[in-house]
A and B are shown apart, each in its own frame.
Chain A
Amino acid sequence: DADVTQTPRNRITKTGKRIMLECSQTKGHDRMYWYRQDPGLGLRLIYYSFDVKDINKGEISDGYSVSRQAQAKFSLSLESAIPNQTALYFCATSDHRASRYEQYFGPGTRLTVT
């Protein structure tokens, strides 16, 4: 079983709809991250959380919100989806006790906003 899972894996939604992407991990890591990847661009950090009570904005947080429901769960919400949020979204985890911020990625969610 995968250590970092994401649901859904693929989603097509319409402009203006609210959508939530979910991430769960069984690695016991305290830190969790959400990234998006667009063609021709690298991974860009949307939000990150160092523990359940600590949520931080990344470089492209506008239009997104997150919730850290438990140490193992970190959800990303698009309150009102727009077409330029079409991208591949990755969740990742890291362990503050181990290698410096080494990221363990989930399988990705491909989101299309029409």
Chain B
Amino acid sequence: ILNVEQSPQSLHVQEGDSTNFTCSFPSSNFYALHWYRWETAKSPEALFVMTLNGDEKKKGRISATLNTKEGYSYLYIKGSQPEDSATYLCAFIWRSETSGSRLTFGEGTQLTVNP
């Protein structure tokens, strides 16, 4: 079982605050790291697929960075809005020539943005 940890578990911020959360994963056999946004009563949707050390991705006010050597990724939200309230999941994809590939999700960070 691969250990993928997200912190914090939950976060409450005020509208307009900037925030960030962390996904930690094993640094060996890295293949990809995904970030998903999961709104209540909906399905998770992909935000970013990251594959290279040093990758930085951006979509509107949300951005993510990746450090595969030390095994972490940060997700940043600039100027949080109430509609950003959701659970943010990361998924680590591990791949080995001898053992195939594995996909493991973290437990998520639940973000609540208060108006």
A residues adjacent to B (C-beta < 8 A): 33, 35, 40-45, 48, 56, 59, 90, 99-108
Contact = CB atoms under 8 A, between A and B. Distances in A.
Contacts, number: 56
B13 to A, nearest CB: 21
Given A59-B1, A99-B49, A100-B93, A105 B44 contact: yes
Given A99-B49, A100-B51, A101-B34, A108 B43 contact: yes
A105 B105 CA distance: 14
Interface in B42-79: 42-46, 49, 51
Contacts of A99: 32, 46, 49
Contacts of B36: 103
Nearest to A40: B107
Contacts of B20: none
The DSSP consensus for interface residues of chain B is: strand
Interface of B: 1, 6, 31-32, 34, 36, 42-46, 49, 51, 89, 91, 93, 100-101, 103-108
A45 B46 contact: no
From B32, B43, B107, residue with most partner A Cβ within 10 Å? B43
The DSSP consensus for interface residues of chain A is: loop
Given A43-B105, A45-B103, A103 B44 contact: yes
A27 to B, nearest CB: 13
Given A40-B107, A101-B32, 18 more contacts: A41-B107, A42-B6, A42-B89, A43-B44, A43-B89, A43-B91, A44-B105, A45-B104, A90-B44, A100-B31, A100-B32, A101-B31, A101-B34, A101-B101, A103-B34, A103-B46, A103-B103, A108-B43
Contacts of A42: 6, 89, 105-108
Nearest to B51: A100
A103 B48 CA distance: 11
Given A42-B89, A43-B44, A101-B93, A59 B49 contact: no
8 contacts: A42-B107, A43-B44, A45-B104, A48-B103, A56-B100, A59-B1, A100-B31, A106-B43
A2 to B, nearest CB: 9
